[in-house]
Amino acid sequence: MNTESPIGIFDSGIGGLTVVKAIQAALPSERLIYFGDTARVPYGPKSQVTIRKYAYDDIAILMRYQPKMIIVACNTVSALALDVVEKASGSIPVIGVLKAGAELAVKATKNSRIGVIGTQATVASNAYACAINMLNPEIEVVSKACPLFVPLAEEGFIDHPATKLIAREYLTAIKKHGIDTLVLGCTHYPILRRVIEETIGHGICIIDSAEAVALRTLELLTESGEFNHHRRTPAPHLLVSDLPQKFSLIYQLFMNSDLPDVELVEV
Ligand code: DGL
């Protein structure tokens, strides 16, 4: 492993691309290897046992590329299986999106009322409330599972009337709690950020943990001396477990890039 080694990033599908985008903006010279488990998405409605098994498979795929760091760009895995990833990656540092999102939300709230939206598994685990209350036990956390946001994001329904309708259904109740901060506790949700923001109302601070993860990555690489100083921006190496062409099209749309090559891998 050296400064040229890649940073491994994974999610159940396209959601982790929100993290890829933030890492590219903060660390343009790093080589990134991304795995989206498109054969098994969504993770959110599944049991803890299944999510932990999937996390084990995902990290095994990335470890083949000898990464210098692993980013768990999936809140569901960060909430229920971070230890599985840490164990499998040995001495390689692991960053999970959940802790970064919780820290950012605690810094942002002024009235100590934070809303968290995420998958069923993330909300049921109570991991966000625990992480937030570890930092400040006075903060009230209101959570809401928004499972339909994941397929809407996977379909690229960024500004679709169906997305607006579902956002109203999910977010009206949480709005009534007087929150001043809303955590997008699933990496798919920033893809639908515009609709979420419009529905919840513009006075509420939206937390997307991708930027916090990018900053933490920069800090860790600088501390360990593994920061890549080359002046070029390599395209990420993209791997998926199903439908590479579909992933390629969504990547192009979301990342505003050329149509990328996407490799199919078996899980
Ligand atoms: N994007 C993932 C998360 O942050 C998982 C969504 C899913 O597969 O249900 O939780």
pLDDT in tens, 155-204: 889 989 999 999 999 999 999 999 999 999 999 999 999 999 999 998 99
- Which candidate, 11, 42, 19, 30, places its Cα nearest to that of 208? 19
Please tell me the distance between residue 128's alpha carbon and the centre of ligand 1 in angstroms: 14
> Of all atoms in ligand 1, which is nearest to the CA of residue 97?
4
Active-site residue among 74, 130, 146, 205?
74
Q: Closest Cα to atom 2, ligand 1: which residue?
A: 74
Distance CA(193)–CA(67), nearest Å, equals 30
Active-site residue among 130, 146, 186, 205?
186
What pLDDT, on a 0 to 100 scale, did the predictor assign at position 2? 79
Per-residue pLDDT reduced to its tens digit, 76-115: 999 999 999 999 999 999 999 999 999 999 999 999 999 9
Mutate to test the pocket of ligand 1, among 18, 48, 76 (most ligand atoms within 8 A of CB): 76
- The two structure tokens encoding residue 157: 């329904």
Provide the sign of the torsion angle of the four alpha carbons 146, 262, 259, 249, taken in this order: negative
> Residue 259 burial by CB count (10 A; 0-12/13-18/19+): exposed, middle or buried?
exposed
Mutate to test the pocket of ligand 1, among 9, 10, 11 (most ligand atoms within 8 A of CB): 11
Please tell me the distance between residue 67's alpha carbon and the centre of ligand 1 in angstroms: 22
- The two structure tokens encoding residue 26: 């903060």
- The two structure tokens encoding residue 254: 């979301």
Q: How far is CA 190 from CA 4, 10, 59, in A?
A: 29, 16, 24
| 186 tagged catalytic | yes
Cβ pair 9, 35 in contact under 8 A: yes
**pTM for the predicted model, two decimal places:** 0.95
- Which candidate, 232, 203, 228, 206, places its Cα nearest to that of 218? 228
Mutate to test the pocket of ligand 1, among 47, 188, 193, 213 (most ligand atoms within 8 A of CB): 188
Please tell me the distance between residue 28's alpha carbon and the centre of ligand 1 in angstroms: 25
Q: Write down the residue that tokens 């062409």 correspond to.
A: 245
SS3 state of residue 136: coil
Please tell me the distance between residue 78's alpha carbon and the centre of ligand 1 in angstroms: 10
Cβ pair 67, 258 in contact under 8 A: no
What pLDDT, on a 0 to 100 scale, did the predictor assign at position 156? 86
Distance CA(1)–CA(176), nearest Å, equals 50
Please tell me the distance between residue 21's alpha carbon and the centre of ligand 1 in angstroms: 17
Rounded to 10 degrees, the C-alpha dihedral 56/153/189/80 comes to -20
What pLDDT, on a 0 to 100 scale, did the predictor assign at position 13? 94
Note the Cα 137 to chain centre separation in Å: 25
Q: Is the pLDDT of residue 218 over 80?
A: yes
Q: Write down the residue that tokens 């840490």 correspond to.
A: 86
The pocket around ligand 1, CB under 6 angstroms, is made up of: 11-13, 15, 41-44, 74-76, 119, 122, 150, 186-188
